[in-house]
Amino acid sequence: KILILDFGSQVSQLIARRVREQQVYCELHPYDVSEQFIRDFAPHGVILSGGPNSVYDAVDWRAPQAVFELGVPVLGICYGMQTMAEQLGGKVESSSKREFGYAEIRARGHSKLFNGIQDRSNDEGHGLLDVWMSHGDKVTELPAGFKVIGSNESCPVAAMADEERGFYGVQFHPEVTHTIKGKEMIARFVHDICGCGHDWNMPDYIAEAVARIREQVGDEEVILGLSGGVDSSVAAALLHRAIGEQLTCVFVDNGLLRLNEAEQVMETFGRSLGVRVVHVDATEQFMGHLKGVSDPEQKRKIIGREFVEVFQAEAQKLPKAKWLAQGTIYPDVIESAGAKTGKAHAIKSHHNVGGLPETLNLKLLEPLRELFKDEVRELGVALGLPHDMVYRHPFPGPGLGVRILGEVKKEFADLLRRADAIFIDELRAADWYDKTSQAFAVFLPVKSVGVMGDGRTYEYVVALRAVQTQDFMTAHWAELPHSLLGKVSNRIINEVRGINRVVYDISGKPPATIEWE
Ligand code: XMP
């Protein structure tokens, strides 16, 4: 296994992704974990991430010295390489020229990291690599024992190595896809240099996780809020596999779900998998409290609060439950850790980490906390969940509550559900669903004039939104074919009485957000 120490780069998580893709287990921790922690973790190799700092200003942002004394390979990336150089006796200087973006570097000499890896070669037969650089400072003097293994004109030490000790540094980011051969370099490091095998796989993981959950829970009972989203669904399936009857799921229908969503959840979990699911239809309660409220944040608060209320009431009916399970996944863990310590920059606050555990007095069980989203999906499929459920687009906690602009009314939700279902149907039929990251309809409470047959209509508007994104922090609007948009518009206007106009949202994020509220 590999230990990644995080110096706050926005792409640190990607390093962990790339390592796990190699079927090697790894964990990402803040750079200043204790030496004892590192020794107990007993990694086969350590990766030092990049970060926004300069080794000058951030004099205490250093890797614990133990990292270099463990006798295992170390790979420093960007800032990680600079602090490595500094700490081992080399020199780092701030550079006047800031390099950011694509760069071509020349591999030099022989190194285990780059041997046989190149994008092309130059006239003298040296391997050339296309890499993604982002740095101001640079290493100007190598620590003792190191040699240069990659360079270009503006960055003479673009990569360095002390192969004797297995220490490597790269000034570029192998973890981003812009570094074309980055994946191969990571594979080299974890397999060939650190000697890790390909032993992080799903079937083994399930067996391990099941054993762990049984050990943790014993014969106590567990309660889980099932939303129908990917994370809570997979958590439910995994827990059911581990503890069967000791699990009770509570599914709260807030009246703001997608078309037939409640039926689908009950069908999949209740009937197919045999999970005990309590279905609470709280539509009236939610609608009642949302009456007359049009401010988006206010609506969010109310929906969140009512959920806690309903869930709590259900939990009280299960006095034997000692555990509250949640579908927290690894990115949530890292995000909230970063938010707490203030270490990682530009962190968004996580929407789903609510106030449930404190108020319920239950022990917290988070069986997915070490998995990334695509691992969670893989796990879901391996546990027998339907593909469409596992690969469904994300759906916000407040549901249609933030897709009905202004005041939420049941009548609006009913119209929107049907329009949205048509849109999604057609996207799937045209093979566009998997090419978009999120797609949905938005209800606009404004009326416009239309004609239908011989009559004049005066009805509501629906906006279609479809975006493509990697991380949901920035997004492009999807360039859906006009014929597809035309078909969706026709169907909605013909089939959903009450909607007479459909528009398509062509705003990027930023400056717009993905949701309309
Ligand atoms: P925005 O609209 O901020 O959305 O560009 C980014 C991603 O977050 C989702 N989202 C939410 N999820 N509760 C949630 O659980 C919320 O209040 C919420 N608001 C936005 C949104 O669907 C998108 O995936």
Q: Is 509 in the pocket of ligand 1 (CB under 6 A)?
A: yes
Centre of ligand 1 from the C-alpha of residue 333, in Å: 17
Q: Is 351 in the pocket of ligand 1 (CB under 6 A)?
A: yes
**54 in a known ligand binding site:** no
Q: Is 352 in the pocket of ligand 1 (CB under 6 A)?
A: yes
Concerning whether 26 is annotated as a catalytic residue, the answer is: no
Q: Do residues 35 and 66 lie in contact, with contact meaning Cβ atoms separated by under 8 Å?
A: yes
Name the CA radius of gyration of the chain, rounded.
26
Residue 321: domain span: 202-390
Which residue's CA is the nearest one to ligand 1's atom 9? 396
Exactly one of 86, 99, 163, 175 is catalytic; name it.
175
Give SS3 for 106: strand
Which residue's CA is the nearest one to ligand 1's atom 3? 513
Count CB neighbours of 388 within 10 A.
11
Question: Is 181 part of a structural domain of the chain?
Answer: yes
What would the mean pLDDT of 289-295 be, rounded to a whole number? 98
Q: Is 513 in the pocket of ligand 1 (CB under 6 A)?
A: yes
User: Going by DSSP bridges, is the β-strand pair 91-93/138-141 parallel, antiparallel, or unpaired?
Assistant: antiparallel
Question: Is 288 part of a structural domain of the chain?
Answer: yes
Phi, psi angle pair for 153, to nearest 5°: -65, -45
> Could you tell me the sign of the dihedral formed by the alpha carbons of 356, 358, 361, 365, in that order?
positive
Q: Is 392 in the pocket of ligand 1 (CB under 6 A)?
A: no
344 lies in the same domain as 418: no
pLDDT given at position 345: 39
Two structure tokens written together for 339 = 């938010």
Q: pLDDT for 64-76, tens place per residue?
A: 999 999 999 999 9
Q: Which of 193, 224, 252 is the last residue of a domain?
A: 193
Q: pLDDT for 329-339, tens place per residue?
A: 887 876 666 55
Concerning whether 78 is annotated as a catalytic residue, the answer is: yes
227 lies in the same domain as 249: yes
220 lies in the same domain as 175: no
Q: Provide the domain count of the chain.
A: 3
Distance CA 138, CA 79 (A): 9
Distance CA 81, CA 315 (A): 50
Question: Is 404 part of a structural domain of the chain?
Answer: no
Torsion angle (degrees, nearest 10) of CA 98, 102, 106, 109:
80
**232 in a known ligand binding site:** yes
210 lies in the same domain as 151: no
232 lies in the same domain as 180: no
The CATH number of residue 247's host domain is 3.40.50.620
All residues at 6 or more sequence positions from 79 whose CB lies less than 8 Å from its CB, including other chains:
7, 9, 48, 49, 50, 51, 52, 53, 55, 61, 135
Write out the H or E segment, with its range, that includes residue 480: none
Q: pLDDT for 366-391, tens place per residue?
A: 999 888 888 999 999 999 999 999 99
Q: pLDDT for 465-503, tens place per residue?
A: 999 998 888 899 999 999 999 999 999 999 999 999 999
220 lies in the same domain as 245: yes
Two structure tokens written together for 274 = 């045999």
Exactly one of 44, 135, 163, 173 is catalytic; name it.
173
| Residue 475 Cα: closest atom of ligand 1 | 5
Q: Which of 171, 193, 215 is the last residue of a domain?
A: 193
The complex's ipTM works out to 0.98
| Residue 515 Cα: closest atom of ligand 1 | 2
Least confident of 15-19, 82-86, 134-138, 204-208: 134-138
Distance CA 252, CA 123 (A): 66
CA separation, residue 40 to residues 166, 215, 226 (Å)? 21, 21, 36
Q: Within 13 A of 218's CA, how many CA atoms are on the CB side?
A: 5
Angle between the 12-21 and 330-341 helix axes, to the nearest 10 degrees? Answer: 150
Q: Is 229 in the pocket of ligand 1 (CB under 6 A)?
A: no
Concerning whether 175 is annotated as a catalytic residue, the answer is: yes
- This prediction's pTM: 0.78
Long-range CB contacts for residues 118-125, cutoff 8 Å, separation at least 24: 118/181, 119/180, 119/181
